[in-house]
Structure 1
Amino acid sequence: MPTALVIFPGTGFEEIEALTPIDVLARCGVKMTTASPYEDAEDNAEVHVEGAHNVEMVVENLTKHMKTTFDAVILPGGMPGAEMLGRDPLVEELVMAHHKAGKLVCGICAAPGMALAKWGVLDGKTATCYPGFEKHFPKTVHHVNEPAVMDGNVITARGPGAAFQFAHKIAQQLVGEKKANEVGKGMLFQ
């Protein structure tokens, strides 16, 4: 069974960009895990995070406890959440370990510019992001205005309206195009 990790900042993430991949991938049979670097949480307590539009969620783990390698690591966008993820050394370490292992590294909206580009994940790749955040891309990144883009083991997407395309592209890689398309058709995406 394929596995995926969605990393939530403590606050300020785009809810649709975090929840859509969780929902779509779970429907495809991917084992989903959620974590946050939010340090105010007790090690054995529930970790509560709040989205950019005041939707509160509970995530399962703290990133400092993530020792497993997943088939995909997903960073939602939103501000200041993407910036918070981008400056967290544990999140960087976790994402870079997956990137170096050739696992999928996925970011949407502000996350490609505020985190993935900062860490060198996008160097030499074609990528997209929320309009304006491409200013954080180094010159080696080929920026395109597509809803969702895959280059090598990296998937990026533009923003909230592209959340389903983003999730679908991740699903295609984790469970195959046939299964991803079946689930998409059942959700009236196709």
Structure 2
Amino acid sequence: MSDRNGGSPEPGEAQEAVAEPGTGTNRSPGEIPDPADDRHADPGDPESSRDALVRELQRTILISSRRLRRRTADETVSAAQFSVLAYLERHGESTPGRVAEFEQVSAPVMTRMVGRLEEAGLVLRGAHPGDRRQVAVRLTSLGQDVVASGRRERFAWLRTAIDGLDADEVRILREAARILDTVVADGPE
């Protein structure tokens, strides 16, 4: 039996759920509220309100990113492969190790991906100009075309979505994009 003075229940004994004030939810005694769970948010508490905003932004950014990435993936390249091609388009010739670091994947994973991209005629591998032990990777003209096409597709999709907004929504979205860019650029690593 459990100790009636607030001790722990005996093994196998059920715990009674406790109502959380202001949330309408129940939790077991000693259970720590999950800050990622909106049910624990107090709308009057500024910190709780910021936590809710963080959760909303995380969800929105994740969904937006996935939808944009789907606009670049096709039968030619996956979203991950497109990301490698776009990196090479932005940064120029690079090593698989540097691209792997940027993409946050292991070197063997990047080596396989670069191999597939090379087989598809989208990148070329060659000797690194400054270090013969290294391999350099660069885009082919076909790879550049795939990047340009993917970017046009993403732009058209997003432009169509924004075209459905009224002038005030466009103004607010523009300001939100500016603020988000500042938050992401100045945020902790």
* Shared fold (TM-score, shorter chain, > 0.5): no
- Rg larger in 1 or in 2? 2
Shorter-chain TM-score tier: under 0.3
Under a length normalisation based on structure 2, what TM-score does the superposition of the two structures give?
A: 0.24
Structure whose residues are more often strand by fraction:
1
Structure whose residues are more often helix by fraction:
2
Under a length normalisation based on structure 1, what TM-score does the superposition of the two structures give?
A: 0.24
Q: For CA contacts below 8 A with separation 6 or more, give which structure has more relative contact order.
A: 1
